[in-house]
Amino acid sequence: MDKLLKDYIKYYETRMNKYKGNPNYKNSYETEKALYEAIASCEKLEDFKDKVEKGNLAVRNGVALVKDKEKIQNEHYNKLKEFVRAGASKEILETLEKKEIKTAMELANLCTEIEQKHHLKITLDELGTSQFLYDYFILENIEVWQNAEVVNEFKKEINEEWPNDTINEGHKQWKEQILPNNRAWDPKWNMDYNLIFNEERHRRKIPFPDEIVKKRFEQHKKYRGI
Amino acid sequence: MMPVDKMFVDPMLQVFRDMAAEMKKQKHSGEAFDKMIAALDRMETLAVECNDLNEFNAKLIQEGLQAKFSMHYGEVMSQAAEKSSKAGGYDDNTLMQNTLRAYEDAITRIEEAEKVQFENITDDVRKIKPSIRIVPVLRKIIEFGKSGVSYPEFLTKMIVEGWEKAMEGVIVVRDGIEFEIEFSKDTGMIPPYIEMHEERLKAFDEMAKKSAFGLPDSLLFSLKSQEIEHKYKPIIAKWEAIEQRWMKILELLLDWLDAYCSFAPYDGRWRTPGCSEAQVQKNIRRTKGCNPGILKQRERILFESFGMKWDDIFKHETFKFRHSSLIFPYSEERFELIKKTYPYCQPKGKPVVVEEPPKELIAEAEKLHSEKKVVNPNLKIAAENAKKIYDKYNGEGAYEKNFGK
């Protein structure tokens, strides 16, 4: 047997063994095994090319690796209850189940398109929580100023003017900057307090008791004029 | 309509412009090429049409333009490779030469980037720089590739030696985590943040030990890392929220006491730029008459949010850690004075009356101020440490060059 063919057989055997017994890469092991068996049964290296093309083995191998990796990612995000982040892998896996992929380029394009779409969904999902957390200390300040017992000389300034000026500035920023910026991502975007409160992926980022968070939501609506 | 500043647009689009220019030079054409150019043209148009960087960024993502460009670029390249293969242009030897040339180019790129970024980098630093550490691996790969082996022998060795994983960047990940731990410890980062990175390091080593080729699978390690960071996110958020709130309470107390001191009219807290004498006096009266009431509200919020009262602050892990760290902001004498001030900083009656703090506390505050004993002297050590570690990894003098003295 030609040395180059022998070298290639060893190479494909090494590739196959990389996944052997690894429960995370079952699909890849099967398609690597098919490639190995194809080359191991060749008498000439030229025959291998025909076998790979006939069985579309290289593309099937690529699809298998994508399936394995997306399955790992999907399980990972679901375990963390990061359901929006799990969306891309879920859609890629579902699409690969239904669709026969003919070329490597088709596979690459499919993954890129789906990931891009879900990247936008992740950004949109996180906009409200980030804004609420960013504003949180200001909401406390407004409450502090409104309720602080202060000497008469500064009563109006602290209890009324400071909170009102801050709220007016909050409305202005919301109308002129924050809302237009967020709607550049999605024209229908709105602050969704139920999402922040009920979805664990958001609620876990806010280290305050439920009752306080609910109170801050109401204050946030007033602060931003929502 | 105002175009997005070139300063932001150029770094984002230049790489696509260069790729397109190179393809034009190589005289590529066809449907995929036209679509690639159309994606770039659309990005250029949006840079002119959008009002700010956020809108520009959002539109690029919404329309998937960077991804479209890359997809069509890949298609053009793949079609060209297929054409060349059919014409007999690709064989094992060509593939080997192309692979080795790519690695040689990578070494040149890394070394040039290092030269530009870190002019004064020493050999000692060079040894521990994560990106530099990949160079010996690349040299080993090139040397093996040129030793007369066949292309499949070369590829087999890439897998067996773990070089394939090194190329995925796994080799530098461990260095990055070690740097993060060292930097965090010496600059006063909070314990859960350090524990998080220590757990990542432990996970890396465990996964490396279990792996057939001595380095963890990059995908599995990145997911494990995410899992650890996810676990620590709420812990870190709570720690920071508690610290931020008791820090505010201490600040209200010290401002209140200092407002009674003779240096107050000359202090930037009350003498803001351009303000009149009357305004300075009003600012001082405001702090004296309002801080006790504001403090009371801040204490209420700390209790409602975390069940902590004044005395609980000093027993809490967030306080104990920060107090013993190099970056606790106050000198020990000033901190003791803040604690002594607390019982007097109370709003009383209706209308509200605020009593002055005892004369001896004011005198003590004035003494600390005149002796320049108000800030923690260890803050200097923390700043020195940050500079030292930054320079260790980025070259002598890099800290001052990037952040000033």
Q: How far does the CA of residue B116 sit from the closest CA of chain A (Å)?
A: 33
> How far apart, in Å, do the first and last CA atoms of chain B sit?
40
Cross-chain CB nearest to B289 (options A108, A153, A208) = A153
Task: Give yes or no for a contact between B82 and B29, defined as CB atoms under 8 angstroms apart.
Answer: no
**Interface size, chain A vs chain B, as Cβ–Cβ contacts under 8 Å:** 137
Longest dimension (CA), chain B: 96
pLDDT of residue B395: 73
**pLDDT above 90: percentage of residues in chain A:** 92
Q: How far does the CA of residue B244 sit from the closest CA of chain A (Å)?
A: 9
How would you write the pLDDT of chain B (405 residues) with one tens digit per residue?
567 888 888 888 988 998 899 888 888 888 889 999 999 999 999 988 887 888 888 888 878 888 888 888 888 887 887 776 666 555 888 889 988 998 888 888 777 776 665 555 555 555 555 566 678 888 999 999 999 999 999 999 998 888 887 777 666 788 788 888 988 888 889 999 999 999 999 999 999 888 766 778 888 999 999 999 999 999 999 999 999 999 999 999 999 999 999 999 999 999 999 999 999 999 999 999 999 999 999 999 999 999 999 999 999 999 999 999 999 999 999 999 999 999 999 999 888 999 999 999 999 999 999 999 999 999 988 888 888 887 877 777 878 877 876
Chain B neighbors of A143, CB-CB under 8 A: 297, 301
Beta strands in B71-132 (DSSP E): none
Please confirm whether the linkage preceding B130 is cis (ω < 30° from 0): no
**CA-CA-CA-CA dihedral for B79, B85, B87, B93, to nearest 10:** 140
CA gap B201, B185 in Å, rounded: 15
pLDDT of residue B321: 97
Q: In this model, does residue A114 exceed pLDDT 80?
A: yes
CA gap B114, B124 in Å, rounded: 14
pLDDT of residue A203: 98
pLDDT of residue B115: 66
**CA-CA-CA-CA dihedral for B380, B385, B388, B390, to nearest 10:** -110
> How far apart, in Å, do the first and last CA atoms of chain A sit?
77
pLDDT of residue B1: 55
Task: Give yes or no for a contact between A151 and B289, defined as CB atoms under 8 angstroms apart.
Answer: yes
| Nearest-10 crossing angle of helices A210-224, A104-147 | 90
Task: Give yes or no for a contact between B60 and B46, defined as CB atoms under 8 angstroms apart.
Answer: yes
Cross-chain CB nearest to A209 (options B160, B237, B305) = B305
pLDDT of residue B242: 98
Answer positive or negative: Cα dihedral of B40, B41, B44, B46.
negative
Cβ–Cβ gap A112/B71 under 8 Å: yes
**Mean per-residue pLDDT, A190-211:** 98
> Would you tell me how many other CB atoms lie within 10 Å of the CB of residue B3?
14
pLDDT of residue A84: 97
CA gap A77, B305 in Å, rounded: 30
pLDDT of residue B281: 98
pLDDT of residue B315: 98
pLDDT of residue A87: 98
pLDDT of residue B230: 97
Non-local (6+) Cβ contacts of B259 within 8 A are B270, B284, B287, B288, B291
Per-residue burial over A130-148, b if 16 or more Cβ lie within 10 Å, else e, is ebbbebbebbbbbbbbebb
CA gap A203, B234 in Å, rounded: 9
Per-residue burial over B32-52, b if 16 or more Cβ lie within 10 Å, else e, is bbebbbebbebbeebbeebeb
pLDDT of residue B2: 65
B325 SS3 class: coil
Question: Residue B354: beta bridge partners?
Answer: B347
Antiparallel, parallel or unpaired: β B353-354 and B347-348: antiparallel
A204 → chain B, closest CA residue? B234
Tell me what ipTM this predicted complex has.
0.91
Task: Give yes or no for a contact between A210 and A148, defined as CB atoms under 8 angstroms apart.
Answer: no
Q: How far does the CA of residue B110 sit from the closest CA of chain A (Å)?
A: 28
B170 or A194, higher pLDDT: A194
CA gap B173, B208 in Å, rounded: 12
CA gap B97, A145 in Å, rounded: 71
Chain A neighbors of B227, CB-CB under 8 A: 76, 79-80
CA gap B8, B219 in Å, rounded: 31
Cross-chain CB nearest to A105 (options B78, B227, B293) = B78
pLDDT of residue B117: 59
pLDDT in tens, A127-163: 999 999 999 999 999 999 999 999 999 999 999 999 9
DSSP state of B200: H
pLDDT of residue B90: 58
Cβ–Cβ gap A206/B237 under 8 Å: yes
pLDDT of residue B143: 95
CA gap B248, A137 in Å, rounded: 11
Cross-chain CB nearest to A208 (options B151, B289, B305) = B305
Q: Which of A3, A4, A6, A7 to mutate to test the interface with B (most CBs of B within 10 A)?
A: A7
**Mean per-residue pLDDT, A16-43:** 95
| Nearest-10 crossing angle of helices A104-147, B65-86 | 160
pLDDT of residue A68: 97
Cβ–Cβ gap B294/A158 under 8 Å: yes
CA atoms within a 13 Å half-sphere pointing along the CA-CB vector of B86: 5
A100 SS3 class: coil
Cross-chain CB nearest to A148 (options B212, B219, B290) = B290
- How far, CA to CA in Å, does B396 sit from each of A26, B383, B405? 49, 15, 13
